[in-house]
Amino acid sequence: MFHKEGFTIIIVSFILAAGIALGANYFIEPLFWQKALQIVVLIGLVLVLQFFRNPKRATSQNENHLIAPVDGKVVVIEEVFEKEYFKDQRLQVSIFMSPINVHVTRYAMSGKIAFSKYHPGKYLVAWHPKASEENERTTVVMENDSFGKVLYRQIAGALARRIVNYAKEGDVIVQGADAGFIKFGSRVDLFLPVGTPLNIQLNQKVKGGIDVIAHRK
């Protein structure tokens, strides 16, 4: 199953791959280079399909749990000053997505969308210290009775050229549901209330919609 945001790219990739592969039979010699080109094209097509995959996830909805919004590796756990929305100290958890990870963003909890804003910006590598403030990104604040307000930020990386965000202010959201997609990109930051008990550790790999990031106090 593939994400709808990748349909156009997948179709174009199929057409290009088929055209190049067939054209190689007529215009490329010797046979070694013909087959080498076809293999490279096939690998490229597989990478595109792999990037836009959207596996079904059976989320165990629990109002006392905050689940991982994306697949990836936990690269930051620290207290920081969040200056866009909260303007106070928050516990930041950052998840980095490599090109081989699923890039679907899922809602970490059920509740309502209190804030949603898109920011154009740069395309620094996702682990750059200033990526959270200077890269293309979206800022979304979710709210419910269990965790209060929790902010998540989709951040584009060096390869990303489009962030898709479905969250709109006032929307009622369901934990584990599709919240967006980062095309060829690469990091999501969560900002939680200071003191929130965590269920993850630095460098741990997590699966979006499945693994529990934090639990209610």
Domain assignment of residue 44, given as a range: 4-51
CA 88 to chain centre: 25
Residue 206 belongs to what H/E stretch?
A: strand 205-206
Q: Is 122 helix (H, G, I), strand (E, B) or coil?
A: strand
**Structural tokens at position 45:** 């097509």
Does 57 reside within a domain?
no
Does 86 reside within a domain?
yes
**In a shared domain, residues 20 and 122:** no
Q: What is the pLDDT of residue 184?
A: 64
Place of tokens 């969560």: 190
**In a shared domain, residues 116 and 199:** yes
Higher pLDDT, 41 or 29: 41
Q: Considering its fold, how many domains does the chain have in total?
A: 2
Q: How does 116-155 read in b/e, with b if 16+ C-beta sit within 10 Å?
A: beebeeebbebebeebbbebbbbbbbbbbebbebbbbbbb
Contact status, residue 170 vs residue 113, Cβ threshold 8 Å = yes
**In a shared domain, residues 149 and 207:** yes
- Asked if 116 is an active-site residue, the reply is no
**In a shared domain, residues 153 and 94:** yes
**In a shared domain, residues 91 and 31:** no
State residue 121 phi and psi, 5-degree precision: 180, -160
Does 59 reside within a domain?
no
124-164 pLDDT, tens digit per residue, is 665 666 666 767 889 999 999 999 999 999 988 766 557 88
Residue 42 clears pLDDT 70, i.e. is over it? yes
User: Maximum distance among all alpha carbons in the chain?
Assistant: 68
**In a shared domain, residues 72 and 147:** yes
Place of tokens 């013909």: 34
**In a shared domain, residues 17 and 93:** no
Does 19 reside within a domain?
yes
Q: What is the CATH number of the domain that holds 168?
A: 2.70.70.10
Q: What is the pLDDT of residue 162?
A: 73
**In a shared domain, residues 179 and 120:** yes
pTM given for the model: 0.84
Catalytic residue among 13, 94, 132, 186: 186
Q: Is 89 helix (H, G, I), strand (E, B) or coil?
A: strand
Higher pLDDT, 97 or 186: 97
Helices (H), 28-124: 31-51
Q: Which residues contact 22 (CB under 8 A, 6 or more apart)?
A: none
Residue type, 183: K
**In a shared domain, residues 96 and 20:** no
